[in-house]
């Protein structure tokens, strides 16, 4: 029963390995605590959800049923570095 509960708890964390690798590259120990990586994934997930909700609201304000890259760019328009980074990532798609 405890193993099932633990497996269910960990099932929502899909990027633990990637987060641990990023943490190591940025100077963390090679095997950080699982609680630390899960906390980071929770924070990132909540930030992604927040910006998606805000972009959906922006799309609705401009009269669209669908979000576009411009909605995200509009939200971060005051941070030139973020705008340039997003545009660079979007150009990889093309």
Residues constituting the chain: 94
Q: Which residue has the higher pLDDT, 87 or 11?
A: 87
Res 87: pLDDT: 93
Report pLDDT digits (tens) over 30-59. Answer: 999 999 999 999 999 999 999 999 999 999
Q: Which residues lie below 8 Å from residue 69, measured CB to CB, with a gap of 6+?
A: 86, 90
pTM equals 0.77
Mean pLDDT (the chain, rounded): 91
Distance CA 60, CA 54 (A): 10
CB atoms within 10 A of CB 72: 20
Distance CA 75, CA 52 (A): 10
Residue 93 has pLDDT above 90, yes or no: no
């Amino acid at each position: 029963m405890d193993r099932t509960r633990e497996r269910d708890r960990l099932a929502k964390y899909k990027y633990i390995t990637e987060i641990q690798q990023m943490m190591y590259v940025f100077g963390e120990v090679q095997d950080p605590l699982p609680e630390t990586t899960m906390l980071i994934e929770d924070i990132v997930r909540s930030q992604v959800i927040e910006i998606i909700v805000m972009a959906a609201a922006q799309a609705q304000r401009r009269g669209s049923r669908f979000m576009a890259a411009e909605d995200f760019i509009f939200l971060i328009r005051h941070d030139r570095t973020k705008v340039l980074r997003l545009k660079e990532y979007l150009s990889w798609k093309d």
